[in-house]
Amino acid sequence: MTTAALEAPLSTARPQHVPVAEQVRDGVVESVHHGSLVATDAAGRILLEAGDPLALFYPRSSLKPLQAVAMLRAGLELPGPLLALAAASHSGAPRHRDGARRILAGHGADETPLENVPDLPYGPAERAAALRAGEGPTRLAQNCSGKHAAMVATCRVNGWPVAGYTDPGHPLQLLIGEVVAELTGEPLGPGSTDGCGTPLHAVTLRGMATAFARLASAAPGTPEAWVASAMTGHPEQVAGEGRDVTEIMRRVPSLLAKDGFEGLQLVGLPDGRGLAVKIADGADRARMPVTVQALQRLGVDPAALAGLGRVPVLGGGRTVGSLHAVALAAAP
């Protein structure tokens, strides 16, 4: 794998997004979503683009697979389902919460050291079940608990302080930063804090697409390949039942997918191509339709993606239109 840095981002100015999706109700365009996307190979060469793929953005939860690679390099060992959970934004189903407990228990810990924010389960059905049972927000139910449990475990493996593992200066977070820079091929941009409390660094869509291309096509036996294999082999751990990220990985063998808040979708293809999509207004509803259209342009079988590319618009309980991607102005 090459670690040569790609050309650094030029500016932190407002991104020059373009229309990428629209909602049509009975023939009238009701809403338009702007955004950007890019597909690259594992060397960072652009294969398809629209909008502003070199603008800086925060990768949010789409960063989790890269964080998992860093933890494996630091000596963490987990079976496939639990490694997938470490890279997940899970729905908070019982198996997800139990999995986070197992990661912790396997390294002599309970949920006490977790530094993620307490929350109800992310999945609508899982959240409703928790409320019916009278449950309140917990750190294990929060959608990042697998990642945080793995961070606690990695600290235990290395003898690093567990308290403060989310601090940007902690050895674990410094290592993660190095791995993110390597896999994206870019210098780290401005830093911030994700919603769950872990550090973030701004990168570009091209950098993240490159990273996912490298994960999905990594040599067997490498941490990158272990993470990709765990996620594609256990898609129910990466998101959950009824979630489009889980569904698309079930439909397309060896396709690696991870979403993120603020309208992000990352995909890695086993032939060494990566795709990064950003919806400008952060709308989750436009994320998958735009991704599906781009994957079709990249040659992924449309039949495998059927039903994921259009969101029905209802009127009086019947379908009167759809939310769908607009034709890309750019060509491969």
Q: Domains of the chain by range and CATH? A: 18-325 (3.40.710)
pTM (predicted TM-score): 0.93
Three-state SS for 28?
Answer: strand
Q: Closest by alpha carbon to 51, among 324, 293, 329, 332?
A: 329
At residue 14, the pLDDT reads 87
230 within 8 A of 84, measured Cβ to Cβ: yes
Confidence (pLDDT) at 329? 58
Number of helices (H), then strands (E), in the chain = 11, 12
Q: How far apart are CA 290 and CA 253, in angstroms?
A: 20
In three-state form (DSSP H/G/I as H, E/B as E, the rest C), the secondary structure along 55-86 is CEECCHHHHHHHHHHHHHHCCCCCCHHHHHHH
Confidence (pLDDT) at 10: 47
Instruction: State residue 222's pLDDT score.
Output: 98
Q: Where are the alpha helices (DSSP H) in the chain?
A: 64-73, 80-86, 94-105, 124-132, 145-158, 171-184, 205-216, 223-233, 235-238, 244-251, 287-297
User: How does DSSP assign 104-151, residue by residue?
Assistant: HHTTT--STT--SPPB--SSHHHHHHHHHTT---BTTTSTTHHHHHHH
The three-class DSSP label of residue 253 is coil
Output the pLDDT for position 49: 96
Query: Along the chain (332 residues), what's the average pLDDT of each consecutive run of 10 residues?
Result: 45 84 96 97 97 96 98 98 98 98 98 98 97 97 98 98 98 98 96 97 97 98 98 98 97 96 97 98 96 96 94 95 85 44
Do you know the residue count of the chain? 332
Give the number of other Cβ atoms within 10 Å of residue 319's Cβ: 10
Cβ-Cβ contacts under 8 Å for 169 (sequence gap 6 or more): none
* Token digits of residue 207: 């950098």
